[in-house]
Amino acid sequence: MRLADYITSDHIKIGLEGRNKDEVIEELVELCSEVCDVSDPDAVLQAVLNRERDGSTGLEKGVAIPHAKSDAVGTLSIVVGISREGIDFEAQDGKPSHLFFLLVAPTSESGPHVQAIAKIVKLIKIDNFREQMINAQTPEDVVKVINSAENGEEE
């Protein structure tokens, strides 16, 4: 499983405009519906919001991985959002989140969804990875950081 197979520069938004958890999720779902195979954006939004109500997907060190399953997507769909200011995402460490990976998988699939979350969790443990992602100037830079990290390289 390579995140780079699912994330192109079109899947990345630097400078999220949302100021709270729901607004960020709405913004990411909107991006997902524009660049991924989404048949019903409202169903995806509701699935992600419902999952988030079960427990925050805000992790530590400024990262959140909002995710859900929905029949409104045909395949695993991933988008990335970056907020340099940070947003209260009810993270485990109580700190603002800056880096967001939204994942939506078909209800019939579990493998790729779980593998993608595991890969993200592995990558975000690398301090340099998080810093480079948050400080990236362009979506293309973000793609390069992901590719480099997945190739085991450090810039």
113 is catalytic: no
- What CA–CA distances, in Å, run from 129 to 125, 137, 145? 8, 14, 7
Please list, in sequence order, all residues whose beta carbon lies within 8 angstroms of the beta carbon of residue 140, skipping any fewer than 6 positions away.
9
Q: Which one of the listed residues 11, 67, 98, 113 is annotated catalytic?
A: 67
Q: Which of 68, 70, 69, 99 is closest to 86 using CA atoms?
A: 99
Please list, in sequence order, all residues whose beta carbon lies within 8 angstroms of the beta carbon of residue 89, skipping any fewer than 6 positions away.
21, 24, 56, 57, 58, 64, 96, 97, 100
List the catalytic residues.
67
